[in-house]
């Protein structure tokens, strides 16, 4: 099912419980434009709330994921020049929170499929997803230092939690280009696949998560997020609370039946989509 995003610069389709959101400015390496950004914010919010969607897959058209902000247009935003520093900061805060902040907060699995370059804000969007799958030809760069900027979309926070503070400092300060192989070695992406297999494998991965036990996946993400800032005793307590709630779901009961009967489980979300 195709979704009307309000612009051809962002495409969205829903299939098998997966919302595939495609940044669609291949001629500009899918740089974020004034038309694409609000459409992307809206789709993350709407598909996140859509009961037919079990997972989000974000990718880019052509040979790039997203090259970040539209650098060519950065010096020609006359309407922004009249804003005070405080007004501009407030505007950027809500705009960025509605993209990477919304992705981090989403309780559904999110996957970024990188067919090529992911730089600046584009890298931040990929980092805000749970899983990153890269084509063999993909490269990433923080990019900001090369254009005299410090970073946005929460990239320093996201990068530090993905590759650790030492690597994050190196990547932010140097803005070096990192190829797919090194990205996988340092944990920046989860897996690398052949270029011609990226879309197929990323969708299959997203579909497997979309058809999973949604309440359990929600709680798993809660546990993982909290693991970064709570002590072990608190983690045990909260895991126990969530586990008990999951044990009472139909999906858990179905998983137990499937185990006993030696067959794949048919979780409720998947049954609704295929009924």
Q: Kindly indicate the confidence band of residue 240, based on its pLDDT and cuts at 50, 70 and 90.
A: very high
Determine what percent of the chain falls in helix, strand and coil, rounding each to the nearest 5: 55, 15, 30
Q: What is the pLDDT of residues 122-169, one digit of tens each?
A: 999 999 999 999 999 999 999 999 999 999 999 999 999 999 999 999
Cα 179 to the center of its chain, rounded Å: 19
Is residue 229 helix, strand or coil?
A: coil
Q: What is the pLDDT of residues 63-93, one digit of tens each?
A: 999 999 887 666 555 557 789 999 999 999 9
The residue from 210, 237, 260 where one domain ends is: 210
CATH label of the domain that carries residue 231? 1.10.12.10
**Placement of tokens 């950004």 in the chain:** 37
Asked if residue 193 lies in contact with residue 201, where contact means CB atoms within 8 angstroms, the answer is yes
CA 117/CA 122 separation, integer angstroms: 9
For residues 196 and 233, state if they share a domain.
Answer: no
Domain of 240?
214-274
Q: What is the pLDDT of residues 204-229, one digit of tens each?
A: 999 999 999 999 999 999 999 999 99
CA 121/CA 114 separation, integer angstroms: 14
CA 92/CA 64 separation, integer angstroms: 24
Asked if residue 58 lies in contact with residue 110, where contact means CB atoms within 8 angstroms, the answer is yes
CA 87/CA 183 separation, integer angstroms: 37
For residues 83 and 174, state if they share a domain.
Answer: yes
For residues 148 and 96, state if they share a domain.
Answer: yes
For residues 127 and 228, state if they share a domain.
Answer: no
For residues 22 and 110, state if they share a domain.
Answer: yes
Dihedrals φ, ψ of 58, to 5°? -110, 130
């Amino acid at each position: 099912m195709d979704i009307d995003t309000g612009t051809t610069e962002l495409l969205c389709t829903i299939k098998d419980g997966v919302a595939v959101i495609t940044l669609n400015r291949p001629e500009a390496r899918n740089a974020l434009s004034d038309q694409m950004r609000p459409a992307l914010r809206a789709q993350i919010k709407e598909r996140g709330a859509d009961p037919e969607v079990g997972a989000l897959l974000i990718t880019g058209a052509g040979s790039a994921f997203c090259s970040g902000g539209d650098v060519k247009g950065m010096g020609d935003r006359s309407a922004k020049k009249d804003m005070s520093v405080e007004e501009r900061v407030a505007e950027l805060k809500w705009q960025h929170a509605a993209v990477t902040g919304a992705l981090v907060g989403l309780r559904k699995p999110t996957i970024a499929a990188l067919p090529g370059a992911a730089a600046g804000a584009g890298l931040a969007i990929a980092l805000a997803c749970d899983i990153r799958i890269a084509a063999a030809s993909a490269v990433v760069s923080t990019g900001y230092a090369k254009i005299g900027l410090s970073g946005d979309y929460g990239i320093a926070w996201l990068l530090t939690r993905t590759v650790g503070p030492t690597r994050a400092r190196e990547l932010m300060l140097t803005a070096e280009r990192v190829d797919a192989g090194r990205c996988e070695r340092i944990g920046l992406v989860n897996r690398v696949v052949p270029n011609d297999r990226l879309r197929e494998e990323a969708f299959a991965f997203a579909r497997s998560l979309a058809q999973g036990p949604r309440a359990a996946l929600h709680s798993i993400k809660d546990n993982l997020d909290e693991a970064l800032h709570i002590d072990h005793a608190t983690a045990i307590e909260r895991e126990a609370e969530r586990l008990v709630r999951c044990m009472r779901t139909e999906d858990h009961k179905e998983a137990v039946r499937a185990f006993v009967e030696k067959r794949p489980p048919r979780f409720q979300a998947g049954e609704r989509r295929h009924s």
